[in-house]
Amino acid sequence: MDVAVENRKRPRPELLEISDLIVDFDPQTMARRPVVQAELVERFRAVGDPRAARIVAGMPSSKGVLDPDAVDRLLIRVHCEMQRLSEEFQHGQRVSELLHAMLAALRQCGVPTPYRIVDIGCGTGYVIRWLAARGEFGSDVELIGVDYNEALVEEAQRLSTAERLECRFEVVNAFAMDQPATVYLSTGVLHHIRGGGLAEFLREHDQDGTQAFVHYDFQPSPLARPGAWAFHYIRMREPLSCHDGVISARRAHTATTLVDAARQSSFACGMYGTHFWKLPIPRVFHTLMGMRPEVIDAFRLTLGRRSGRLGTLA
Amino acid sequence: MSFTVISLYVLATLDAMFSGVCAASGRDARINKRSYYLKAMIHGIGWGQVACVVGLLILAAALWISEDPQLAMEQMVAVGDRMVLVFGVYAAIILAFFAVRAIPSVDIRSMTSTVAFGPLTLIRPAVIVCGIGWGLAIGPGPPIIVAGILICVLMAPFRVWLNRWFDIKQWVAGPAEPAP
């Protein structure tokens, strides 16, 4: 009995993703900072994650510092693998359907064009490139992907140029751009932001001209951990992808945490698409949404038959 | 006999084709890559033919070392018939989910990945082991049992080998320059 009580009191070990820690940037200058391999290995061991420690210990390094070029190549491969999951889950189409309804609502409410859709933490830009290739948005919609990682942004731009897509990618803080986004978007980013940083991140969306945000992230559920393990085991080749994929699902924020943090901004916030067809079957991703209150009624109309997926926006 | 041979050949070729797609997935980050996957299917089918030839050589060797080749041939066909049953059901389930996936709904299509293609990919090696095991359960002679085990060792990790080959060939990325 005492042991059980003691176990309950013991703090849960910190869950760390390798991809968060093998790159380090100065948030002001965006300059790359060196990552000391031994320190990182020790950090993973300290949180009881010997597998991650082994993965990091096996990465190429020079004078004890992780080789930034090798890390970049690895991250590009990992993002390519992650894109496979997005493709299987029809993520591009899913985002496109929601954005079409959102932009139609903005048009109905007389919000002036052009509309700028900014994908935060875009990685190799799958969502923005998909929207550019298949989204059929008008010429008054700008599609922009931003990320801190220059190598990923360069890869996104290379892929976009190769397919002649009308979109662009920048290494920039999404909230420090010359012109703010009309709609901020992200996929699988929110769980990387921990503690008070989440509310701060969402408050930063409060910019002149910003009408809405849509953040897709893993939905915690009893099926999430085994599901993430199975899918990453089957589909991924890089050990880093398998490791971080499962940890991502375990670190996912609950809807309550997300909505509580989002409601500290001036947007009306809520969740969208948490379950399949009103059945008790959770979706892999749930969606945190925020909108200017004056647009909500129009948005419910433009959503059409999908309006049932929209929770209370307040 | 011809039904058994043709059925197993078609099933092996289908498996090899899908294995090609699986091995090529997650290596090319372009959006439009129909030709890429077509090429991957062709590579998978090509390696599937190699596997079929190796399988035939194993069976021919089993026949050659059998004391009674006529009986061994009859046993092979009986084993093959049972394998066709297991693999046929597995293939039919996969193809049925492809039919479901044709429904133009984001949710239905993503659910086919979650509840069908993912788990079905996971159990593929087990299905091969079960299919061959079910066939060998009729109790054929030792050469056929050995041949069955060798074919199992050849086909169960086929996707892993194809993946390795794609790794070696560095099947990656889209074109560096815009298409003309």
pLDDT, position A231? 81
pLDDT, position A195? 87
Residue A153 and residue A49 share a domain: no
Chain B CB contacts of A127 under 8 Å are: none
Say if B179 is an interface residue toward chain A (CB within 8 Å): yes
Please state, in angstroms and as integers, the Cα–Cα distance from residue B14 to each residue in A229, B7, B38, B87, B138, following that order: 27, 11, 13, 11, 26
pLDDT in tens, A258-297: 999 999 999 999 999 887 777 778 888 899 999 999 999 9
Residue B156 to residue B133: CA distance in whole angstroms: 12
Of residues A104 and B176, more confidence is placed in: A104
Asked if residue A48 belongs to a domain, the reply is yes
- Let me know: does A252 contact A224? Beta carbons within 8 Å: yes
Predicted complex: ipTM over 0.90: no
Q: How many domains, in total, are found in chain A?
A: 2
Best mutation target, B28, B106, B111, to test chain A (most A CBs within 10 A): B106
Interface touch B176/A158, C-beta < 8 Å: yes
Find residues 37-66 of chain B whose CB sits inside 8 Å of chain A.
none
Lowest mean pLDDT among A21-35, B9-23, B51-65: A21-35
Residue A294 and residue A168 share a domain: yes
Interface touch B177/A230, C-beta < 8 Å: no
Find residues 151-170 of chain B whose CB sits inside 8 Å of chain A.
163, 167
Distance from CA of B28 to the nearest CA of A (A): 7
On average, the pLDDT of chain B sits at 90
Residue A178 and residue A69 share a domain: no
Distance from CA of A180 to the nearest CA of B (A): 27
Chain B CB contacts of A136 under 8 Å are: none
Chain A CB contacts of B21 under 8 Å are: none
pLDDT in tens, B29-46: 999 999 999 999 999 999
Interface touch B31/A227, C-beta < 8 Å: no
Low-confidence ranges of chain A (pLDDT < 70): 1-12
Structural domain ending residue among the three candidates A35, A60, A77: A77
Interface touch B109/A90, C-beta < 8 Å: yes
* Count of pairs with CB atoms under 8 A, one residue in A, one in B: 80
Residue B178 to residue A165: CA distance in whole angstroms: 10
Residue A219 to residue A284: CA distance in whole angstroms: 6
Find residues 104-123 of chain B whose CB sits inside 8 Å of chain A.
106-107, 109-111, 113-114, 117-119, 121-122
pLDDT, position A158? 96
Structural domain ending residue among the three candidates A59, A77, A95: A77
Tell me how many degrees the CA angle B103-B109-B114 measures, rounded to the nearest 5.
Answer: 145
List residues in chain A touching B: CB distance below 8 A.
79-81, 83-84, 88-90, 92-94, 97, 124, 126, 129-130, 133-134, 155, 158-159, 161-165, 227, 230-231, 233-237, 276-277, 284
Structural domain ending residue among the three candidates A62, A77, A92: A77
Interface touch B31/A163, C-beta < 8 Å: yes
Asked if residue A63 belongs to a domain, the reply is yes
pLDDT of residue B173 exceeding 80: no
Residue B23 to residue A177: CA distance in whole angstroms: 40
Chain B CB contacts of A93 under 8 Å are: 106
Residue A130 and residue A28 share a domain: no
pLDDT in tens, A81-113: 999 989 988 999 999 999 999 999 999 999 999
Residue A265 and residue A126 share a domain: yes
Strand (E) positions, A20-152? 61-62, 65-66, 115-120, 141-146
- Let me know: does A267 contact A205? Beta carbons within 8 Å: yes
pLDDT, position B180? 38
pLDDT, position B95? 94
Residue B96 to residue B106: CA distance in whole angstroms: 18
Find residues 9-28 of chain B whose CB sits inside 8 Å of chain A.
25-28
- Domain encompassing residue A193: 82-309
Distance from CA of B58 to the nearest CA of A (A): 30
Q: Which amino acid is at A235?
A: R
pLDDT, position B177? 44
pLDDT, position B175? 42
Residue A281 and residue A263 share a domain: yes
Of residues A230 and B174, more confidence is placed in: A230
Residue A215 and residue A270 share a domain: yes
Asked if residue A24 belongs to a domain, the reply is yes
pLDDT in tens, B137-155: 998 889 999 999 999 999 9
**H, E, C per residue of B80-125:** HHHHHHHHHHHHHHHHHHHHHHCCCCHHHHHHHHHHHHHHHHHHHH
* Residue-range domain boundaries for chain B: 2-168
Among B29, B122, B179, the residue with its CB nearest the CB of A83 is B29
Residue A91 and residue A60 share a domain: no
